[in-house]
Structure 1
Amino acid sequence: MSATAVAALTAILLVAVASTVIGTMGHRARRTSDFLVASRTVGPLANAGAISGEYLSAASFLGVAGLVLREGVDGLWFPVGYTAGYLALLLFVAAPLRRSGAFTVPDFAELRLRSRGLRTLCSVFVLVIGWLYLLPQLQAAGLTVHIVTGLPIWIGALAAGLIVVSTVMFGGMRSVTFVQAFQYWLKLTALAIPAIVAVIFFFGSGHTFDRPAPPQFAELTTVQITAGVELEVPSDTVVTVGPDGATVDGAAADPGSVLRWPAGTTHRVEPDGDLVFEAGTDVPVPVGKPATDDRWLSPLAGSGDHQLVAIYSLILATFLGTMGLPHVLGRFYSNPDGRAARRSAVIVLAMLGAFFLLVTLLGALSRFYTPQLLVSGQTDAAVLLLPTAVLGSGAAGAVLGGVVAAGAWAAFLATASGLLLSLASVLASDVLPGRAVADLRIAALRLATPLAGAVPIVLALFVTQLDFAESVALAFAVAASTFCPLLVLGIWWRGLTARGAIAGILVGGVLAAGAVAVGLAGVVGEGLPGVLLHRPAIVSVPAAYLSMIVVSLATRKSRPANTDALLLRLHAPERLGLFRDRVERNDDPVDAS
C-alpha cells in the first residue's frame, strides 16, 4: 500500500474513532426528548455548526466540485440552490415550526390537521426521502476508501453505515449534535488547506482558464474507465489502449493498439478498460459538456436540449427542497425557542457560504490538475485526487490527501447521522408496535436505528452509483414536492385541510418519486420528457401546491376547529406566553441500558 493510501486510511480511521468517541461521551440519552431533540437545549451557535455539518453532505463535499469540473458555470446552480434554500427556510418555516412543539414532520402534520392518515403518509415519505438521501452518502464513503486506498467500494460503504448506526443508537440528538459540529469544522479545514496550497501553485504556473482551448494532459496519462462514457473529441487525438484493453464504439480493442480520433467526433467507451494519452494531448470531454475553457466559463455552454428548463427545475428543487428535508427540520426542534431557531438559520447561511466558496474553487482548479476525470467519468473524485496532483505522491501530497479524505468521511458521517436519527424516530413512532408518540421509549428508538440503517446500507452495495450531487438533487425534488407545500401552507394558510394535504403530497410525491425510480432503473428519456424525468420539480412542485389548494377549498368544511388558535401559537412571539412545548407522558428517566 502506498504512502498516500496509508495516510488517507489513517486519517479516515481517526475521524471514525473521534466521531464515535465524541458521540458516546456527549450525552447518554435517557428520555425521548433527549434522543430526538436534545431536550430542546441546543443554543444557536452550536446548532448552526451541527446543521452545517449535517447539511453539507457527499453531494456538497465531492459532488459540487465534480460538477464544476465538468459543467463549469452551470454547475454553480447546485451550491446556490442549497444555500438559498436555507434563506427560504429562515423566512417561512424555522421559527413557526419550532413553536409548534412537535418532534418530527409527521408530528407537525397531525398536530396541525388532526389526521392520523396524513401522519402515516408523511411517515412514508420521510422514509423515502431519508433512504434516497442516505444512499449517495454511503456510496461516497465507499468511493473515497476505494480512491485513496484501492480497497473495494463495499468496504467503505459498510463501514460508514455501521459507524453511523452505532453513534445514533447510543447517543441520540445531543451526541449527534456534538459530532456534527466537530465534523463541520473538520470539513472546512480539509477544504481550506488544499485550496490555499493549490491556489499558490496555480498562480505560480502562469495558467489561465480564459482561453479558447480545452484542458490538456500535462504528462503521459493512463485513464481507467470506471463508468461508461461518451466522449467528444475537441481536436485530432491519438489514443493508445492500455494493458487492460478497452471496448470503444462497441468493438473490443486489444492492449497496445492505437486509435485515431478525428476532431469533432464522438466515441463511446465502456467501463473496465484503460486508455493512454500522450503529454500535451487535448482532453476529450463528455458529450454535451463545454470543451474549451472559455466556454466552460460561460453560462448555458453545453449542447444539451432544454437547458433552461433543467436549470429552473433544479433551482426549484434545491430552493424549496431544503424546507422539506426531515433531518434538517429536526434540527430546529432542538432549539430552545423560535427566536433561537431563526438565529441558528442566519448563522448557517454564513457557514454554508464559506464552505461552498472553497468547494467551487477546488472544482475549478481540478480542471487544470485532474482533467483525466473528464474521461474516466469519476468527476466526483476531483477533491480527493487534487492534493497528489498538485504536490505529487511524496510525503506532502500524502499528508494533504489524508486531510481531504478525513474531511470527506466527516461529510458522509455527519449527514448520515442526522438522516438516520430522523428515520429512526419515524419508525419508532409510526411503524413499530406500541407506537403512540407520547409513549416512545428509548428501547424502541434504539431498535429502530439499525432497522432504519439496514435499507440504505444494502442498497449502497447493489444499486448503480449516480453522480452524488445529481442523486441528492432527486431527494430534494421529492422533499420540495411533498413536505415543502405541507409546511408552507400549513403554517401560512388557515384554509388547508387534511384531505387537501393528503392529495397534494400524493400528487407531488408520486410525480417526483416516480421520476426518481425511473432514473434509478437506468431509463434515459429523450428531449423534454427526458429532462423532466431527470429534473421533475418544475412539474411536481406546482402540481402539489395546486392539488393542496384546490382540494382544501373543496373540503373547507373539514378544517379543524382549533386552526386559528394553533396558527396564533405558531406566529406569536414567545414573550406573549402562547408558546409551549409538547408535553410527553412517560418521559420519565428510564434504564439507559
Structure 2
Amino acid sequence: MSSPATVWLTLALLFSSLVLGSLARRYIQTTVDFYLAGRRIGYLANASAICGDYFSAASFLGVAAAVYAVGYDGLLYGLGFGAGFLPVLLFVAAPLRRSGAFTLPSFCGLRFASRAARLTAVALVLVIVTLYLVPQMIAAGSTWTMLVGYGLPGITPYATGVTAAAVIMTAYVVLGGMRATTWNQVVQFGVLLSAVVTVLVLAYVRGFRYLDALAELGRQPVAAENRLHPGLAAGFLHPGLRFDLFDQISLLLSLVFGTAGLPHIMHRYFTSPTGAQARRATAWVLGLVTLFYVLTGAVGVAARAMLPGGPAGGGGGTVVEPGSAGRQAAAEGAPPVGVPPLDAGAGEGAVAGTGMAEVPEVALRDPDMVVPALAWRVGGDAVLALVAAGAFAAIYSTIGGLLIAAAAAIGHDLYEELTGGGPEQRRVLVGRLTAAGTGGAALAVGLAFGRWGPGGQEPGLFAQMVTWAFAVAASGFFPVLTLGIWWRGMTAAGAVAAMVAGGGGSLALILWGVGQQLGWWPAPAAASGLDAVPATFPTAVTLPLGFAAGVAGTLLDRCRRRHPIDESRLDDLWTRMHGTAAERQAERLARIALAQRWRG
C-alpha cells in the first residue's frame, strides 16, 4: 500500500518534529522548563496536547479495527477511552496541579512525606510506561512496513520504522523537553483528527450511510459464539461477540479509571499554570475525546460496510472473531480470521463504476489496517498518505509523551531521591541523558520484539498491552490518587500497600495469563479452580483490591502509631489542594515569607 505521497508526508512529519525540538531548546533553563514547559501551557494547547498524547495507535487504528471486527464489543474500547477523563475532571485534575508536584511519584512523596511511597510510585510508572511503549514501538515498525514499505540499506522496513520512531522522538525530547513534546502533540493531534474526518466525509460521498449500514450489518450472519449469552445467537450489533460479562466490566473499569493513573497523561496536568486551567483543559479534552471516538467508531462501521466482503463491498460480510489465529492464517495465504473473505466480489468488478480504488488483499489481512484500507478505497493515494501521517502522528506523539514521563520519573524523582539534587544545570543534563537512555531502551525493545511484528507468532498478544497498561494504572495509581487527595487520614503505609496490591496484583495476573498464552506454564485444570483467575482484564478484581489495601494499610498503620501524620505540613498541602482562592493565596504568601526568612 506504499505510495510516494505516503513516504514524503511521513518524512515531513519526522522532519517537523526535529525542527520543533530545535526551536524549543532555547527555552530550557531549569528542570521546570525541561519537564513541565515552565508550567505555562494554556488550557486549549494543553487539551490538544493531551489528546495527541492519549490517541495512540490503539485509538487511531485499533478502535475502528475493533468495531470493524466485533461490532458492539469493539465499541467498548471507544466508550472506555472516551469516559476516562470524567474521573480525572471530577476527582484529580485541579487538586493534583495545585499540589505543586512535578510527577505522580513526586506527588506521592509530597503527600505522604515518604521515600518508600515515592520509589514505589517510580517503579509503577516504569512498569506502565513499558507496557504502553512496547506496542507503540511495534506499531511504528508494523505501520512503516505496511504503509511505507522501504527500509534503510541493510535493515528491514520494520527495523527502519522502529529506528525512525525511537531516534527522532528521542532527539526532540532531548532537545526541547516538554515544550517540544507539547508542540509536537498539538500538531500531530491536528493531523490525525483531519485524517479521521477526511476518511469519513469521503465515505459519505461514496455512498456510505451510517444507519443503513448498521441495519444491513445487523442482518448479517455471525460465525461466532455469544460469550455473554451462550444460548443465544451472536450479533454484530449486540454485546457478547468478543467478551463475556466479566471481561466487559473489567475492560471498562480499566479504561475509565486507568486514564487517571497513566503517567504520560497526568504529567501534562503539571504543565498547567493553575488548577483552574487544568480543570478547564480536562473539560475540553472530554469534548474532543468524545468527538474523536464517535468518528472512529463510525469509520469502523464504514470499513465493515464498504471494504470487500462487507455488504456494500460485495461478499457475505460474515463476522468472525479476530486474533492471532487470523493473522497466522493470513501469513499462510488463507483468508484471515476477523477479515471478510475476499473471493466474493472483491475483484475488479467490485469497484467498477464506483470511483473507488481497489483494495489489495494484503491490506485486509490485519484488522488493524482497515482504516488505511478504507482510506485507499475512498480516496486513493492522497487520502492514504494523510491516514498514514495520522497513524504515525498517533504513534510518535504517544512515544514522545512516554519518554518525557519516564525521564521525569528517573531523572527527577529517582535521581533527586538518591543524590539529593544538585545544581540546576546538572539536573537538566541528567534529564536529557535520562531521556536519551529511555529512547535507547525503547529502540532495543522494539527491535527485540520484532519477531512478533508482521507475520510473527503472537501479534494479538501485544495488541492487548495498551489495555494492560490501563489495568495496572487503574489498580495501582487511581486508589492512591483518589484516597490521597480526598482522605486526609491516609498514610504512607496505606499508599504503598495500595500500589503494591493493586498495581502489583494486576501485573501478576497479567503475567499469569501471558505465561499460559506463550506456553511458559500449562493452563490450570478446571478442577483446581485456578481457571477462574481473571488474567485477561483483571481490573474488576485488582481495582477494589487496591482501594481495600490502601484503607487497611492506613488503618493498621495508624493503630500501631508507627508513622504519625505531620499535621502542620498536611494543613499547608490541604489548603493548596482544596482551599478557596483566598486561602491558597494566604498559604502562598506564608511560604514566600518563610523562604525569605530562611535566606535572610
Instruction: Please indicate, yes or no, whether the TM-score normalized by the shorter chain is above 0.5.
Output: yes
Inter-partner Cα distance in structure 2 for 1:424 and 1:534: 29
Give 1:571's match in structure 2, choosing from 566, 574, 578: 578
Counterpart residue number, 1:418 = 401
Counterpart residue number, 1:384 = 372
Give 1:504's match in structure 2, choosing from 498, 508, 513: 498
* Pairing 1:537–2:539 present: yes
Inter-partner Cα distance in structure 1 for 2:52 and 2:405: 16
Give 3-state SS (helix, strand or coil) of 1:208's partner. helix
CA shift for structure 1 position 5:
2.5
CA shift for structure 1 position 408:
0.6
Counterpart residue number, 1:436 = 420
* Pairing 1:39–2:27 present: no
* Pairing 1:369–2:306 present: yes
Give 2:440's match in structure 1, choosing from 454, 472, 483: 454
Inter-partner Cα distance in structure 2 for 1:24 and 1:110: 33
Moved more, 434-443 or 66-75: 434-443
CA shift for structure 1 position 515:
2.6
Q: Is the 8 A contact 1:64 1:469 kept in 2?
A: no
Q: Is the 8 A contact 1:130 1:419 kept in 2?
A: yes
Counterpart residue number, 1:473 = 467
Counterpart residue number, 2:124 = 125
Give 1:26's match in structure 2, choosing from 24, 44, 49: 24
| Deviation sequence 1:264-289 (CA, Å, 0-9, x none) | xxxxxxxxxxxxxxxxxxxx967779
Q: Which amino acid aligns with 1:366?
A: A
| Deviation sequence 1:368-417 (CA, Å, 0-9, x none) | 334576247621111121122334xxxxx011100000011110111111
| Deviation sequence 1:347-386 (CA, Å, 0-9, x none) | 1111111211221111111113345762476211111211
Q: Is the 8 A contact 2:494 2:553 kept in 1?
A: yes
Inter-partner Cα distance in structure 2 for 1:437 and 1:107: 13
Alignment of 1:302-341 (within 5 A): 302=241, 307-341=244-278
CA shift for structure 1 position 87:
0.9
Q: Is the 8 A contact 1:71 1:289 kept in 2?
A: no
Distance 1:386 1:487, change over 3 A: same
Q: Which amino acid aligns with 1:442?
A: V
Q: Which amino acid aligns with 1:162?
A: V
Inter-partner Cα distance in structure 1 for 2:404 and 2:166: 13
Distance 1:83 1:119, change over 3 A: same
Inter-partner Cα distance in structure 2 for 1:185 and 1:361: 19
Inter-partner Cα distance in structure 2 for 1:157 and 1:301: 36
Distance 1:413 1:573, change over 3 A: farther
Distance 1:303 1:141, change over 3 A: closer
* Pairing 1:77–2:76 present: yes
Q: Is the 8 A contact 2:141 2:160 kept in 1?
A: yes
Distance 1:501 1:541, change over 3 A: same
Give 3-state SS (helix, strand or coil) of 1:560's partner. coil
- Normalising to structure 1: TM-score of the pair? 0.79
Q: Is the 8 A contact 2:210 2:298 kept in 1?
A: no
Give 2:284's match in structure 1, choosing from 347, 350, 357: 347
CA shift for structure 1 position 580:
4.7
Counterpart residue number, 2:197 = 192
Between Structure 1 and Structure 2, which shows a larger proportion of strand residues?
1
Q: Which amino acid aligns with 2:394?
A: A
Distance 1:487 1:204, change over 3 A: closer
* Pairing 1:167–2:172 present: yes
CA shift for structure 1 position 204:
8.1
Alignment of 1:195-234 (within 5 A): 195-203=200-208, 208-211=213-216
Inter-partner Cα distance in structure 2 for 1:204 and 1:72: 16
CA shift for structure 1 position 454:
2.6
CA shift for structure 1 position 450:
1.8
Counterpart residue number, 1:155 = 160
CA shift for structure 1 position 443:
0.7
Unaligned runs of 5+ in 1: 216-233, 235-283, 392-396, 584-593
Inter-partner Cα distance in structure 2 for 1:571 and 1:154: 49
| Deviation sequence 1:433-482 (CA, Å, 0-9, x none) | 86435756111011101211233322222333346663211100000111
| Deviation sequence 1:107-127 (CA, Å, 0-9, x none) | 111111111111111101111
- Normalising to structure 2: TM-score of the pair? 0.78
Distance 1:19 1:520, change over 3 A: farther
Give 3-state SS (helix, strand or coil) of 2:535's partner. helix
Inter-partner Cα distance in structure 1 for 2:588 and 2:438: 30
Distance 1:449 1:508, change over 3 A: same
Unaligned runs of 5+ in 2: 151-156, 310-334, 340-363, 453-458, 593-600
Q: Is the 8 A contact 1:63 1:467 kept in 2?
A: no
Distance 1:120 1:212, change over 3 A: closer
* Pairing 1:183–2:188 present: yes
Give 3-state SS (helix, strand or coil) of 2:273's partner. coil
Distance 1:435 1:451, change over 3 A: farther
Distance 1:186 1:559, change over 3 A: farther
* Pairing 1:484–2:482 present: no
Aligned length: 504
Inter-partner Cα distance in structure 1 for 2:377 and 2:286: 32
Inter-partner Cα distance in structure 1 for 2:297 and 2:588: 42
Inter-partner Cα distance in structure 2 for 1:571 and 1:204: 49
CA shift for structure 1 position 520:
4.3
Inter-partner Cα distance in structure 2 for 1:403 and 1:467: 28
CA shift for structure 1 position 175:
1.5
| Deviation sequence 1:37-91 (CA, Å, 0-9, x none) | 1111111111111111111111100111111111101111112111211011011
Inter-partner Cα distance in structure 1 for 2:223 and 2:442: 32
CA shift for structure 1 position 493:
0.4
Inter-partner Cα distance in structure 2 for 1:116 and 1:98: 21
Distance 1:580 1:334, change over 3 A: farther
CA shift for structure 1 position 568:
2.5
Counterpart residue number, 2:351 = none
Identity score, percent? 36
Structure with larger RCO (C-alpha < 8 A, sep 6+): 1
Q: Is the 8 A contact 2:50 2:268 kept in 1?
A: yes
CA shift for structure 1 position 130:
0.8
Counterpart residue number, 1:278 = none
Distance 1:362 1:206, change over 3 A: closer
Inter-partner Cα distance in structure 2 for 1:488 and 1:457: 35
